[in-house]
Amino acid sequence: MPLRTIPFGDGEVPTLGQGTWFMGEDRDERAGEVRALQLGLDLGMTLIDTAEMYADGGAEEVVGEAIKGRRDDCFLVSKAYPQNAGRRSAIQACERSLKRIGTDYLDVYLLHWRGGIPLSETVEAFETLRQQGKIRRWGVSNLDTDDMKELLAVPGGDACATDQVLYNLTRRGPEWDLLPWCRDKGIPVMAYSPIEQGRIPAKGALRTVANRLDATPFQVALAWVLAQEGVVAIPKASDPEHVKANRAATDLVLTPEDLAELDRDFPPPKGPRPLEML
């Protein structure tokens, strides 16, 4: 079955993509990482997220190898360091990312987190990149609700295509105000580390629901993220079996009973919380 998609700017993207954090750090692992990403593409996980920060550009090189000859099959996302988000530095950083990946354009270019450069200057730089055809859309990462409100208030800020944040069963703070606000504005959210890098406790309700669905606890945790309205999950997987397990999680249907059990072990926020980062 094809993956479910959600609206994304002037198009749509699958709700399950592929992350690349920690890829590209070990030359001996590179071939396996490339194969894992290619398998993900074969299974319909066409959104690939990377960043200049990951392995100091090494992850972007892995992505470039994985998509060689398949650029039109992919929806590529990369991110710029905050210090590289100025009028000139953003152009230069994007060009370096394009060269490492071996592509002429990115589907989305993100500010990795907020730094000292004014958001208005970053928006100006990103809009220049879009006019040059080097990116098709731009967005942000790790910006909380107040930051997003400030962003949309600057000239051109309402073109923001997404906010990528830490969100999973153990990090439900965004549900209080950020996710509702983004939904209201029609801004999809990308959830990074949707299974907390494998650290979500695989016991209690997670284990119970997993047994009921003949799945693993991590698949249930991923399915929970995928069930959230307007959210794209981007787990990283370097092993083929892990890639297949992630893809299979999209077939899980969580019932109201399942969701209630998970809420008891992983309660939703009862008030505002600062946005968390990894």
User: Is 242 known to sit in a ligand binding site?
Assistant: no
Nearest-angstrom CA–CA distance, 20 and 208: 30
- One-letter amino acid for residue 263 of the chain: D
Name residues whose C-beta falls within 8 Å of residue 27's C-beta, 6 or more positions apart in sequence.
Answer: none
Catalytic residues: 54
Say which amino acid occupies 165.
Answer: V
Pairing of strands 5-8, 11-14: antiparallel
Q: What residues form the annotated binding site?
A: 112
Q: What residues form the annotated binding site for substrate?
A: 112
